Structure 1
Amino acid sequence: MAGSPLSALDVAFLCLESETSPMHMGAVVTFTARGPVDPAALTALLAERAARLPKLRQRARAELFPPGSASWAEDPEFVAADHIEHVRLSSLYEPDPLTAYASRWIAEPLDTSRPLWQLTLVTGLPDGKFALLLKLHHALTDGAGAYAVAAGLLDGVKLPERISPSRPIPAPRSTLDTVKDALGTVWGQANEAAGIASSVVRAARPPLSPVSAPPSAERRLGFVRLPLTELRQVRRTHGGTTNDVVLAVLAGALREWLVNRGQRADGRTLRALIPVSVRGRAGDQLGGNKLSGYLCDLPVGEDDPVERLRLVRRAMTRNKAAGPARGAGALPLLAGRVPPLLHRLGTRTAGLAAPMLFDLVITTVPVPPARLSIGGARLAEIYPFVPLAPRHAVGIAVAPYRDSVHIGLQANGEAVPDVGSLRDAVLKSVARLVDAS
């Protein structure tokens, strides 16, 4: 018997998977322990909690009908401990062992014949800290759903319940009415898909981006932590949202980074795909991918940090006015309207055209402001990572938590061997914007 089906978008992420483009999300989360860390006890705690989460016990299974489709099925051989490992690092040979290890870790694809997740406990860090490194395949869920899954591993965090409002039992309907409704739904989805597809075609550009790169399995990670108070100060002075401020900071950082690489920045924009959740507040937070997106042209050609923020605000205001279901940024919605068989046949090839539509992905992962912990150890930092689209050099993920905004940088290791230069550019960009405020 088939389990819950993967959506067409879920299947698309499975089909995009390759040795040089693994489609898993990642997170490096550090914790401050009250005393010595017992790796065996913490690993056992994680395994016990993971075993209670249905999403983490399931693997994707191909179905005969509809052609190309798949469903989630309980893995009869599932053992949570098999997905969890412990690594002890040392700074004896590497000045920043966590970043170096995490860069190698994120590059390793998940085994798609098993439940699509992996957890690594990292000890041996300075100041009594330890880290949890989590991989979740994008076929399993999106960023919002990833936190809902990971929350089940934390202390005292209840998973959101699916809300099923009571409704009156409908009166019997004729077969003709049922068919009319079904045809109306199909026709509506077809019209929506045609509109998005038309926008995608209009938005396509020659693939000449300065941040595109040949495919590579090598990865480099960077961690950036920004004070939330400074970003809010900028927002109060110049208006907009905190997210607008972060995008303006990243635009300035990308400008600096391009210049340092000897590339022209003046008069140029870099187009970012900004995923938007469409699951709704009362939706199933543990469900699969429910995504749309905006395209935002980041003004990397503008040297004035305040003017960069104004241009970002204008672009995002225009996006929000149009809504997440329109425009070329709604590419994930279009993928959700394509039959699974077509994804099996052509998604990987179509994915190679990503640089024609956008230059990089910038996503925000929602994390609640409440203080979080695991095994009594307080969560200190959380750095998310978004998969690199084919031929992209850089992907950026953002997670606001407590008094900081954490930014995870993932780069194609061959194209960007020193992601630290981009990290430093982010810090310089935020300093310039704060000084101008």
Structure 2
Amino acid sequence: MSELHPLDGGFMELEDTDRHISLGIGATAIMAGPAPNRSEFVEWLRERIDRVERLRERVRSSRWDLTAPVWEADPHFDLAHHIRWTALPEPNDESTLCEVIAAELAERLDRDHPLWQCVVVEHLAGDRWALIVKAHHAMVDGISGITLFERLCEPVDDDPVPVAAPKTRVPGAGRFDLAAKVVRLPVTAPRFAMAMARGLVPVVYAAVAASGSSSLNGPIGRQRRYVVGRASLAEVREIGAAFSASVNDVALAAITSAYRALLVRRGEDPAVERLRVLIPVSVRPSTADYVMDNRVSAIIPHLPVEVRDPVERLTAVHARVTHHRARGEAEAERSMLAVAESLPYAVVAWAFRLAGHFPQRSVAALATNVPGPRRQLTLNRRPVLEILPCIPIAMRLRTTIAILSYQERLVFGITGDYDTTPDIDLLAEGIESAISELLALARGRREDRPVDPVG
């Protein structure tokens, strides 16, 4: 058995605080050709999951949360629990696929079994089919989730996949661990408080500070919407090179432009509304790429929706993200989670439950960028044409955006609350329009530069 880390268990606690949310994250792979038949797919998947022990394990919690939940082998593991089959109705296009993805994001995973599921989607237009792979956020973050998907694909060689050993415990060790943590509590509790006071004050203030009544923040229902925006990774790099910005800066600037357009369309003034966005930051070392857990921290900057000029907006995004990273917010959160490892789990669980019940009104969106595979993947001997990232909404955030690169494509997977984001298409359109505008400006700037004389 291995224990869940505080953040892993925290996602389960957050889900328990709100019956309207499901904290499954996933990826939808679009494949060329006809879908495999059921028996072929089951046999293929059975062979693949033998390489990932966690896919046969379920979560077992302790009574009264005295010790951390643990992953344990499911004694009644049945692959059939984790496979579903569906087919798209007419017109079999991307919009109908997005409806299926949205419905899957709304469904909670069954905690009596390992926390993952595969959905085969047949009859996608263009002689294609899709596979939705979903796992609970307690099991994976963005990076470990995409590496899990890669491990389900065919390997490029026969080399074994390096996997770091998880933190394990022997039966009965939990009682001794709990006693040791209680004994150390007079020391660890002040350290926990000091870590929060020293480094997390800006982050905590961002979550509780008074903010405008933006339509982006508020109660959410059970149903979801999902749309996709796309960009050429080469073109995004070209924009970054022209304006001394990173790929992430350009993506965030495009998202900022899209939210600005959305607010204007809703009759809200971007000059008045302050859009604070939660940006997860990976703290996962390269040696832990294949470890299935969460290794993330976060920063919470304001996106400059008030800025009209697209280049000035990009510059402001770069400056604000750089400022928040330099301030050490992400490292402070990482330190707090490290200290939380030494606290009794009941204390950690209580903290996450409190956060889940707290009606935060300052943060209005979440945007996460995950570097995906650069090589062509194949799944059950079918080429993977595209991967669409799928993430949940929670904590009054009515929209979230996942950015995933695959080969030379950048995909923006946008999840929204069904009742309060009927105009979610505007975000996808706004992102694509903003990147096209920045690309034209970048190329115009290059053409306007004087040519150096030769000789």
Same fold per superposition (TM over 0.5):
yes
Residue 381 in 1 paired to residue 386 in 2? yes
Task: Give the counterpart letter for 1:206 in structure 2.
Answer: A
Q: Is the partner of 1:355 in helix, strand or coil?
A: coil
For the Cα contact (< 8 Å) 1:294–1:330, is it kept in 2? no
Structure 2 contact 227–424 (Cα < 8 Å) conserved: yes
Shift of 1:188: 5.2
Q: Which residue identity does 1:20 align to in structure 2? A: H
The structure 2 residue matched to 1:202, chosen from 202, 205, 217, is 205
Where does 1:76-87 land on structure 2 (aligned, <5 Å)? 76-87=75-86
Decide which of 129, 152, 160 is 2:162's aligned counterpart. 160
Matched, 1:5 2:3: yes
The match for 1:192 is: 195
Which amino acid is the alignment partner of residue 229 of structure 2? V
Separation of aligned partners in 2, 1:359 and 1:210: 9
Q: Residue 56 of structure 1: CA displacement?
A: 0.8
Aligned position for 1:222: 227
Q: Are residue 20 (structure 1) and residue 20 (structure 2) matched?
A: yes
Among residues 340, 343, 356, which one is paired with 1:351 in the alignment? 356
Alpha-carbon contact 1:162-1:283 (below 8 Å) kept = yes
Query: Could you tell me which residue of structure 1 aligns to residue 453 of structure 2?
Result: none
Q: Distance in 1 between matches of 2:138 and 2:77?
A: 19
**2:427 matches 1:393:** no
Q: Deviations over 1:359-405 (max 9, x none)?
A: 21111223121111112211111111222122111011010111110
Query: What is the alpha-carbon distance in structure 2 between the residues aligned to residue 66 and residue 424 of structure 1?
Result: 45
Match of 1:114 in 2: 113
CA distance in 2, matches of 1:94, 1:231: 27
Per-residue deviation, residues 184-225 of structure 1 (Å, max 9, x unmatched)? 887655532332443334333125333112121010001111
The match for 2:320 is 315
CA contact (8 A) 1:5 1:70 kept: yes
Residues 7 and 299 of structure 1, relative CA distance in 2, 3 Å threshold: same
RMSD between superposed Cα atoms in Å: 3.0
Q: Identity percentage over the alignment? A: 29
| CA distance in structure 2 between the partners assigned to 1:328 and 1:71 by the alignment | 23
CA apart distance, 1:65: 8.7
Return the offset for 1:23.
Answer: 1.2
Give the secondary-structure state (helix, strand or coil) at the position aligned to 1:371: coil
> Shift of residue 140 of structure 1?
1.0
- Relative to 1, partners in 2 of residues 1:132 and 1:266: Cα closer, same or farther, differing over 3 Å? same
**C-alpha distance in 2 between matches for 1:339 and 1:255:** 44
Distance in 1 (CA, whole Å) between partners of 2:387 and 2:23 is 20
Aligned partners of 2:336 and 2:414: how far apart in 1? 23
What's the CA shift for 1:419?
1.8
What is the rounded CA distance, in whole Å, between the counterparts of 1:361 and 1:227 in structure 2? 22
Distance 2:329 2:382 in 1: 38
SS in 2 for 1:265: coil
- Per the alignment, do residues 76 and 5 of structure 1 end up closer, same or farther by CA in structure 2, a change over 3 Å counting? same
Q: Given that residues 105 and 391 in structure 2 are in contact (C-alpha distance below 8 angstroms), is that contact kept between their aligned partners in structure 1?
A: no
Is 2:191–2:339's contact at 8 Å kept on the other side of the alignment?
A: no
Q: Partners of 1:333 and 1:321 in 2: how far apart?
A: 20
**2:153 & 2:98 partners in 1: Cα distance?**
23
Residue 404 (structure 1) aligned with residue 402 (structure 2): no
Match of 1:123 in 2: 122
Q: Which residue of 1 aligns with 2:452?
A: none
Determine the structure 1 residue equivalent to 2:304: 299
Which residue identity is paired with 1:295?
A: I
Written as runs of structure 1 = structure 2, the 5 A alignment for 1:156-305 is 156=155, 159-162=161-164, 189-203=192-206, 204-206=208-210, 208-283=213-288, 285-305=290-310
Q: Which runs of 5+ in 2 are unaligned?
A: 167-179, 443-455
Change in Cα spacing, 1:60 to 1:227, as seen in structure 2 (3 Å) is same
Cα distance in 2 between the residues matched to 1:92 and 1:149: 31
1: CA distance, partners of 2:30 / 2:413: 13
Are the structure 2 counterparts of residues 94 and 152 from structure 1 closer, same or farther at C-alpha, using a change threshold of 3 Å?
A: closer
Residues 7-66 of structure 1 show CA distances to partners (whole Å, capped at 9, x for unaligned) of: 111111001113211111122221123x66434312331233124411111111012597
- Note the C-alpha offset of 1:406: 0.7
Query: Is 2:393–2:399's contact at 8 Å kept on the other side of the alignment?
Result: yes
State the AA in 2 paired with 1:275: P
- How far apart in 1 are the matches of 2:334 and 2:431? 25
SS of corresponding position for 1:111: coil
Aligned residues of 1:294 and 1:329 also touching (Cα < 8 A): no
Q: Which structure 1 segments of 5+ residues have no match?
A: 165-177
How high is the TM-score relative to the length of structure 1?
Answer: 0.87
SS in 2 for 1:408: strand
Spell out, residue by residue over 1:305-333, the C-alpha distance to the aligned partner (whole angstroms, 9 max, x if none). Answer: 10010001111222332345446798877
Partners of 1:336 and 1:388 lie apart in 2 by 26
Q: 3-state DSSP class of the match of 1:282?
A: helix
Secondary structure in 2 matching 1:436: helix
Q: 2:437 aligns with which of 420, 432, 437?
A: 432
Corresponding residue number in structure 2 for 1:73: 72
1:32 and 2:32 aligned: yes
- How many pairs align? 421
Kept in 1, the 8 Å contact 2:235–2:439? The answer is: yes
Whole-angstrom CA distance in 1 between matches of 2:433 and 2:307: 15
